[in-house]
Chain A
Amino acid sequence: SQQGEEDPQALSIQEGENATMNCSYKTSINNLQWYRQNSGRGLVHLILIRSNEREKHSGRLRVTLDTSKKSSSLLITASRAADTASYFCASSGSARQLTFGSGTQLTVLP
């Protein structure tokens, strides 16, 4: 079942600006992960945040998790043209699988 939903579906920003993407999910989770996909390629894992964490950083990435609202956000600071890609959240609950959202297409204009 499709549990995660990203918002917005598409985002276009100028190089140097920050990009924020949101994800909502429906059931309780063990963790939430964010992945990136360049056009026509496989997904690459970016960051994982556990259900007992509220915020996590990795380089220019900042992820927050609000379990009371069943939502997460991914912030990319000082974006670059190379950040242009689709970004997916994936939630992990009691089932032995990840449930992916439909993704946010980010375009960073030079």
Chain B
Amino acid sequence: DVKVTQSSRYLVKRTGEKVFLECVQDMDHENMFWYRQDPGLGLRLIYFSYDVKMKEKGDIPEGYSVSREKKERFSLILESASTNQTSMYLCASSFRIAPDTQYFGPGTRLTVL
């Protein structure tokens, strides 16, 4: 089975802090994705990566950056956390770029105070 893990289930940070969310997949997938999920808005794509050191902006990249130094690991970085970044963050991976099935991690619920 594909396993996608995220570094934290719950995280509480203060406004202005730098926040790192880590995601690791064990199936040698080419593609990895970061979403945020907010009530009533569904999942919105922040960034995705289709290869090591490659990244593309999704629908809402502002205030975020990403890093993919190794194939299995994709990090989401909040350079200076703000309260409007309080959300559930979901990482996913897939063998091929869409239209392939995506496999999701359990999510990180981030609260920014």
What residues make up the interface of A, taking CB atoms closer than 8 Å to B?
1-2, 4, 30-31, 33, 35, 40-45, 48, 88, 90, 92, 95-98, 100-103
Contacts and interface: CB of A to CB of B under 8 A. Distances in A.
B101 A96 contact: no
Given A88-B43, A96-B97, A100-B43, A43 B90 contact: yes
Interface residues of B, number: 28
Contacts of A41: 106-107
Contacts of B42: 2, 4, 88, 100-103
A44 B104 contact: yes
A103 B102 CA distance: 17
Nearest to B10: A40
Given A2-B41, A42-B4, A103-B42, A98 B104 contact: no
Interface string B66-100: 00000000000000000000001010100001110
B101 A33 contact: yes
Given A41-B107, A42-B90, A42-B105, A92 B99 contact: yes
Given A42-B4, A44-B104, A101-B42, 9 more contacts: A2-B41, A2-B42, A42-B90, A42-B92, A43-B104, A88-B43, A96-B50, A97-B33, A102-B40
Contacts of B43: 43, 88, 100
| From A4, A97, A100, residue with most partner B Cβ within 10 Å | A97
22 contacts: A2-B44, A31-B99, A33-B99, A33-B101, A35-B104, A42-B4, A42-B105, A42-B107, A43-B43, A88-B42, A92-B98, A97-B45, A97-B58, A98-B98, A98-B99, A98-B102, A100-B35, A100-B42, A100-B44, A102-B40, A102-B41, A102-B42
